[in-house]
Structure 1
Amino acid sequence: MTRIQHDTPKKNRLVGVIQARKTIAQAAELIDMPLGTAKGVWARFRKTGSTKNRPRSGRPSKVSDSLRRQVVRLARKDRKMPFREIGNLVEPQLSATTVGDHLAQENYHRRVARKVVLLKKTQKVKRLAWARTHRGQDWEKVIWSDESYVYIGDPKGRVWVTHRPEEEWEEDCLIPTFKQSSIRVMVWARSGGA
């Protein structure tokens, strides 16, 4: 026979029927609850004054606070490291699922890395300086045009990284792209404001 857990409203109805001067057997039949269960619910209600289930201890967590911090440190140190490897590096060893669950509790998730064009430090500095210089410009009156080769055929598949939502554009969560392919197409385009 399978064991089922009755919800609190159903147990409360049973108690209400019994308090309305019905017998436990009559109340159990009316509520559609086994007689033995009804007797147990009534006895617990008389003893504790409540029909709520007591909290269960459950299995103690295998992951302590210090182990959880270690898992987070490893995930932040190498964003591309698979959960299975992280689990193998800690003691006691953890499954990939356990690592993922505990990282999710800290708001770290596996996501496909954003692809960005590889820029040198000097290029980044120059672009930032240009953007700051032209911050007040009315860009609605500017038409942008450019031509470039589009290289077809990405040699890599998806690269997964572990990060929090606000860390999506951090340097170690990005994948630089390079122009390298035997197939290329010249594209020219322009865009502008309204």
Structure 2
Amino acid sequence: MVTVRSDDIEYKQRCYVQALRFSAGWTYDRISKDQNLPLSTVAKICNTPATPKRKNRCGRKIKIDTPTHRRLVYVATLNAENRRKPYADIAQLVGVEADSKTLQEAFAKEGYHRCSARKKPSLDDIKRAKRLTFALAHRHWTVQDWRRVIWTDESYIWLGGKRGRVYVTRAVEEVWLEDCLAPKFSKQDSVMI
């Protein structure tokens, strides 16, 4: 008889041997004769799982663990200045060495992404108070009341300073946090048309 190692037997046959033993209740001897396998091989198949377990962990090692994810997010959301820094700068502050894709995945696992900052008008405390007073005074107006108001439109031409899209690190629910907003340019840098 040819020697057959249990490791060399196909997965389907291993499952079939185990089914004959545990579901049908066949003896090792009967299975051995039916499948043309040595008795020791049948015994070994029946005493090991159908799907062998890996001895070592498979896959890539985790580069950044969960506490490090949270530390990265904490530093990135500490203030408005840090929210505007790219992932690589935040990693450097924390002392983590990783490529941009790994950092992006680390922030994503914690629910944070790089997003365009929402624009908001540049308002001081006096303007905010006036807007709140107006909103509270007119909160009960109907659609018919608002139709009697004439709205005018104006446009500004921006003259200078740093221009471009501002990106911030934020979670979905932090859209309107003060640190996550990019103020619109003030009227000193523009001309109204």
With structure 1 as the length reference, what TM-score do the two structures score?
0.64
| Alignment-derived partner of residue 76 in structure 1 | 77
Measured against aligned partners, the alpha-carbon deviations of 1:79-106 in whole angstroms (never above 9, x if no partner) come to 1011111111223433333222111111
Are 1:114 and 2:118 an aligned pair?
Answer: yes
Alignment match, 2:4: none
Q: CA RMSD for the aligned pairs?
A: 3.5
Distance 2:107 2:68 in 1: 11
Q: Distance in 2 between matches of 1:64 and 1:120?
A: 42
Structure richer in strand, relative to its length: 1
Encode CA deviations 1:139-184: one digit per residue, 9 max, x unaligned: 35412412313326896121111000010111111111114346x6
Structure 1, unaligned stretches of length 5 or more? Answer: 1-9, 26-38, 187-194
Relative to 1, partners in 2 of residues 1:55 and 1:120: Cα closer, same or farther, differing over 3 Å? farther
Q: 1:126 to 1:55 in 2, by over 3 A?
A: farther
Deviations 1:51-106 (A, max 9, x none): 27548524543434443332111110211011111111223433333222111111
Gaps of 5+ in 2: 1-9, 21-30
SS of structure 2 residue aligned to 1:147: coil
Q: Secondary structure at the match of 1:136?
A: coil
Aligned ranges 1:125-144 → 2 under 5 Å: 125-139=129-143, 141-143=145-147, 144=149
Distance 1:152 1:173 in 2: 22
Contact 2:112 2:171 in 1 (8 A): yes
Q: How far apart, in 1, do the equivalents of 2:87 and 2:158 lie? A: 32
* Residue in structure 1 matched with residue 168 of structure 2 by the alignment: 161
In the alignment, does 2:174 pair up with 1:174?
Answer: no
Counterpart contact for 2:156–2:190, Cα < 8 Å: no
AA aligned opposite 1:86: I
2:46 corresponding residue in structure 1: 46
User: For residues 55 and 132 of structure 1, do their structure 2 counterparts lie closer, same or farther at Cα, with a shift above 3 Å needed?
Assistant: farther
- Give distance in 2, aligned partners of 1:43 and 1:103: 50
Are residues 46 and 152 of structure 1, via their aligned partners in 2, closer, same or farther at CA, if it must alter by over 3 Å?
Answer: farther
Q: CA 1:125–1:56 in 2, change beyond 3 Å: closer, same or farther?
A: farther
Taking structure 1 as reference, are residues 128 and 17 closer, same or farther at Cα in structure 2, changes over 3 Å only? same
Q: Could you say which residue in structure 2 is the equivalent of 1:85?
A: 89
Letter in 2 for 1:85: D
Output the amino acid matched with 1:160.
Y
Q: Does 1:124 pair with 2:128?
A: yes
CA deviation vs aligned residue, 1:4-27 (integer Å, no higher than 9, x gap): xxxxxx95x5555555777499xx
The alignment partner of 1:94 has SS state of coil
**Residue number among 98, 102, 106 corresponding to 1:94 in the alignment:** 98
Counterpart residue number, 1:190: none
The amino acid of 2:179's aligned partner reads D
Alignment: residue pair count: 159
Over 3 Å counting, the alpha-carbon distance change for 1:44 and 1:127 in structure 2 is farther
The amino acid of 1:169's aligned partner reads: W
